[in-house]
Structure 1
C-alpha cells in the first residue's frame, strides 16, 4: 500500500524542520564555544547530530514506503544571545515547537488511518518528551548553579561528558 500523499508531505516537511534544528543547535554550540564553554558546545553539537539522525530516519521511512522526498532549502537560524541562559531557553522553546510539529504529523497520519506512520511517529512523540525534559533540566541547572564561576565550570564539565550515540533503526 502506497503512503498517503498528505502523510508523505507532512513527513517531508518534518525532515526539513529536523535539519533546521541541527543548524539551530550548531549556532548554540558556536555561542558556547566562543564563551569557552566547551561542555555546553559539546551538548549542542550532539543535539545537532541527533536532529540529523531524526531527519535521516524520517527520510528512510519515506523511501521505504516508495516515496522520494524532496530536500528543500534549510532556513538560516538568526539568533543572538546576551547570556548563557538564553540559548537554553531558546532550546526549550524550540523543542516545544518541534513537539507541535510531530503532533501535527501524527494528526495527519491519524486522520487518514495510517497506522504504520503513527507507529513510526510514536518514537518521536516519546523522544520529544525526553528532549523537553532535558531542556528544562538544563535551564534549572543553569539557574541553580550557573550563576557563579565554580558552578558554571562544574556544569560545563558535566556536559562535556555527554557522548553521541547514533540512533538505531526506527521501530516499524
Structure 2
C-alpha cells in the first residue's frame, strides 16, 4: 500500500469548490483531510489569497507517479493554466511525500522541495498527523517555519470522505 501526502491550494474562482473537487475526485483513497487554511500568496505576492489543505491518501494500486498524474488530472479538470511560476491558479495539487520515496526527477521531486519551510503545508499536515515526518528533514513538529498570515477557516469544512 502506498500512502501519500498531498498539499492542495486554490486562489482563483470558487477556491473552496476546487479544494472539494480534490477530495471528491480522490474519495476512494482518502484517509484524512485537514482543516482549510487561508494564506497570503507565496512567491508572486500580487495575487489573491490561497485556501490550502492537506489530503492524505492510500492505495494498493497507485505509486508516486500515479499520485502525480491523478493530481494533474484534477488540476486540468479545474481549468488550471500554467502561465507563471508561483502565479495564481484555480487548483494546485502537490505531492509532498509518498512512503519516504526520494525522487530527483524534474517532473516529480520527492519529498516536495519547498515543503519543509511552507506553513501552508506543515500546519495543516500537523492537524491531521501530529507525528508527521518529512523524509530528509525529520519530524514536522520540529521544523522551523513562520506561521505569519496563516488563518484557519473553521467555516470551511471539506466533506464527503469519511463515509468511504
Which of the pair is proportionally richer in helix?
A: 1
* Structure of higher CA gyration radius: 1
Which of the pair is proportionally richer in strand?
A: 2
Q: TM-score, normalised by structure 1?
A: 0.29
